[in-house]
Amino acid sequence: MKKLLIVSTVFVLFFLIGNEAIAQCAMCRGTVESSIGNGRNNVGFGLNTGIMFLFVMPYLLVGVISYLWYKKSKKFQAERKIAMS
């Protein structure tokens, strides 16, 4: 349990301390640079937000599946322990 807590803490700290992603593909970067040149920074902000959303979703999905697997495993172990008694 202690190892899980340490790994979880390190994982959360990586996301909290990490810098924003600034570089995108060449086409996206060109769009952001041209919109900033025109004085519209909201396009770049929206693009970066979308990229971060797409980046986080697989990790969130793996986390939810892992949590459900852990809960089912604990329930199975408890049922097996009761059956052996």
Structure tokens belonging to residue 19: 């810098």
Please give the pLDDT value at position 9.
Answer: 87
Residue 42 lies in a domain: yes
Residue 8 lies in a domain: no
Q: How far is CA 18 from CA 5, 6, 60, 76, in A?
A: 20, 18, 17, 38
Residue 15 lies in a domain: no
Band of pLDDT at residue 70, cut at 50, 70 and 90: very high
Structure tokens belonging to residue 17: 């301390």
Residue 62 lies in a domain: yes
Average pLDDT estimate for 68-74: 94
- Percent residues over pLDDT 70 in the chain: 81
Residue 6 lies in a domain: no
- Mind listing the pLDDT tens digit for each residue in 28-52? 777 777 776 666 667 777 777 888 8
What is the rounded CA–CA span in Å between residue 39 and residue 27?
Answer: 19
Please give the pLDDT value at position 19.
Answer: 60
Number of domains present in the structure of the chain: 1
Question: What size, in residues, is the chain?
Answer: 85
Residue 28 lies in a domain: yes
Please give the pLDDT value at position 67.
Answer: 95
Residue 57 · residue 45 · CB < 8 Å: no
Which residues are within 8 A (CB) of 48 and not within 5 positions of it... i.e. 6 or more apart? 20, 21, 22, 24
- Residue 67 domain boundaries: 21-84
What is the rounded CA–CA span in Å between residue 70 and residue 63?
Answer: 10
